[in-house]
Structure 1
Amino acid sequence: MQKVAVITGGTSGIGKSLVLKYANEGYAVVFTGRNVDRAALVVAELGERPHLALELDSAKMEDNRKMIEATIEKFGRIDVLICNAGISMRALFEDVDLDVFKKLMDINFYGAIYATKFALPYLLESKGSIIAISSINGWRSTPARTAYSSSKFAMQGFFEALRTEVMTRGVHVLVVCPGFTSSNIRNAALNADGKAQGESPRDEKKMMTSDEVAERTFKAAQKKKRDLVLTFEGKMAVFLNKIMPSRLDKMIYNMMKKEPDNPLK
């Protein structure tokens, strides 16, 4: 029987690359997104390969329930759940509207909770995999990303606990932490007022591609790895944060200070 992968936030960036990767590997793919035009482009690339595109909001509990119900109705099983939907922000905590903070927690953290809650019975049945697309910010916070970092720390804490709950029942949990990746996330990042900043403050051409993240993620899942930390810069940040966190505070501040139009004072 054909395996089924469910991917939230699958219309752009890493999510889109994951949809195409799993489809290329023979999976039926179910993906969500709120942008109908982008979803149509992904559907066009999938062609005749088995898929289901759903216009749903990952931040809403009922939309996640609908996602799982629609998947079971069409394909009858779930073998892989990828919690990918996410949004970033760029503003000092003293300036940020608390609605922005809540929005990030709703999408990045609660979105993953809802999807996992409704998919878990079927993953236990198939002895499948849960893949959480987190961030280096889930290991090491950075200034002007307080809400984003908080959501990713919470996400990793949840999946670490869940992993130990299901590890003797055949379900595999992988947490993927990309470093800087060329995607739409910085363009769509929210400012202090909750509006998309519209452009990336970094040189996207020098970053790891979303296709490479998808490829590495698939291979790590096949090997049933526990964690996947990507990019040399990302691995160094995790390592240095363990051995010299105070020094890293200064290094990160100086690095972020070089970003164009940075909000640091």
Structure 2
Amino acid sequence: MSIQKVAIITGGSSGIGKSLVLKYANEGYAVVFTGRNENRMAQVVSELGERPHLSLELNAGDKDDNKKMVDETIKKFGRIDVLVCNAGISMRALFEEVELDVFKQLMDINFYGAIYATKFALPHLLESKGTIIAISSINGWRSTPARTAYSSSKFAMQGFFEALRTEVMTRDVNVLVVCPGFTSSNIRNAALNADGQAQGESPRDEKKMMTPDEVAQRTYTAAKKKKRDLILTFEGKMAVMLNKIIPSRLDKMIYKMMKKEPDNPLK
């Protein structure tokens, strides 16, 4: 009788996180997911039905909550095979106007949240020779204006996982960094403005973006193949490439693109 594998997905109540929870459950994993919106979490639980799962209402940016997440997973399922550091929040404001607390909040959730989750889960992943998946962003390769805190958190996240990858690569733990381009999700609606309030609506046409289900499918496939990096969307791949060969020109191109966003804060 085969032992059921276990996947943890942080920020699993909506968007890419929810799609990953359902994808791993459909592939036969017991899934553990975290979130802070009780109603959305209940909806995911309903969609999981009788499949083995554990939902935990926790703060991804809190060290003790991350320890609890791992402890409760081991208590219920006895192992961890996949850790997906997905929980994240965005922002849109000029650096000269943004409150520093907004910067700290993004670093706490996007960066330190991934650090905490990985720190506590790593002993179990080393034992299972498992996989760590970091859901980053094209902003982890190429920053964009009015998203200084978000870009900083993603650059930091990718630097951490690149270093960790080389630490554990001889111990059969794979580290995959996934960089979605624009994906249809709640992240832009919940993005913080200069004062730390959710902007409430997306400045982009969500219907034209990659779906969370497609991101989840491609992430799962890349992880099974033990890929190192996954850069998604044609625009995302072009941004990464052009940033290497014509960075100054790309500065101007990105400025013009972001300037077209409704109610953009650019001068």
CA distance in 2, matches of 1:258, 1:37: 34
Partner Cα separation in structure 1 for residue 190 and residue 52 of structure 2: 30
Q: Shift of residue 245 of structure 1?
A: 0.2
- Three-state SS of the structure 2 residue aligned to 1:196 is coil
* Distance in 2 (alpha carbons) for counterparts of 1:256 and 1:111: 28
| Aligned-pair CA distance for 1:79 | 0.1
Instruction: Select the residue among 38, 47, 50 that pairs with 2:49.
Output: 47
CA shift at 1:189, angstroms?
A: 0.1
Structure 2 equivalent of residue 217 of structure 1: 219
CA–CA distance in structure 2, aligned partners of residues 7 and 259 of structure 1: 31
Indicate which of 21, 29, 37 corresponds to 1:27. Answer: 29
Aligned with 1:143 (options 120, 142, 145): 145
SS in 1 for 2:118: helix
Displacement of 1:132 in angstroms is 0.0
Return the alpha-carbon distance in structure 1 between the equivalents of residues 36 and 200 of structure 2. 18
Q: Kindly provide the amino acid, as one letter, of the partner of residue 75 in structure 2.
A: E
Q: 1:99 aligns with which of 94, 101, 115?
A: 101
2: distance between equivalents of 1:98 and 1:87? 15
Counterpart in 1 of 2:119? 117
TM-score norm. by structure 2 comes to 0.99
Following superposition, the deviation at residue 96 of structure 1 comes to 0.1
Q: Deviations over 1:28-62 (max 9, x none)?
A: 00000001110000000000000000000000000
Task: Measure, in 2, the Cα distance between the counterparts of 1:174 and 1:120.
Answer: 14
Amino acid at match of 1:243: I
CA RMSD of aligned residues (A): 0.2
The letter of the residue matching 2:227 is K
Residue 67 in 1 paired to residue 69 in 2? yes
Q: CA deviation at 1:182?
A: 0.1
What is the CA–CA distance in structure 2 between the aligned matches of 1:223 and 1:240, rounded to whole Å? 27
Amino acid at match of 2:181: G
1:1-265 to structure 2, matched below 5 A, reads: 1-265=3-267
Q: Which amino acid aligns with 2:154?
A: K
Shift of 1:90: 0.1
Code of the residue aligned with 1:62 in structure 2: it is D
Q: Distance in 2 between matches of 1:243 and 1:264?
A: 25
Q: Name the amino acid aligned to 1:183.
A: S
Distance 2:60 2:260 in 1: 33
1:175-196 superposed Cα distances (whole Å, 9 cap, x missing partner): 0000000000000000000000
Per the TM alignment, residue 239 of structure 1 is displaced from its structure 2 partner at its CA by 0.3
Runs of 4+ displaced beyond 2 Å: none
Aligned to 2:134, the other structure's residue is in SS state strand
Q: Structure 2: which amino acid aligns with 1:235? A: K
| 1:2 partner SS | coil
Question: How many equivalent residue pairs?
Answer: 265
Q: 1-side partners of 2:213 and 2:190: how far apart?
A: 19
In 2, the alpha carbon distance for the partners of 1:131 and 1:148 equals 19
> What residue identity is the alignment partner of 1:99?
D
Q: Please state how far the C-alpha of 1:13 moved relative to its aligned partner.
A: 0.2
> How far has the Cα of 1:204 moved from its partner?
0.2
> Any stretches of 5+ residues in structure 1 without a counterpart?
none
Instruction: State the SS of the aligned residue for 2:101.
Output: helix
CA-CA distance at 1:259 after TM superposition = 0.3
What is the Cα deviation at residue 260 of structure 1?
0.3
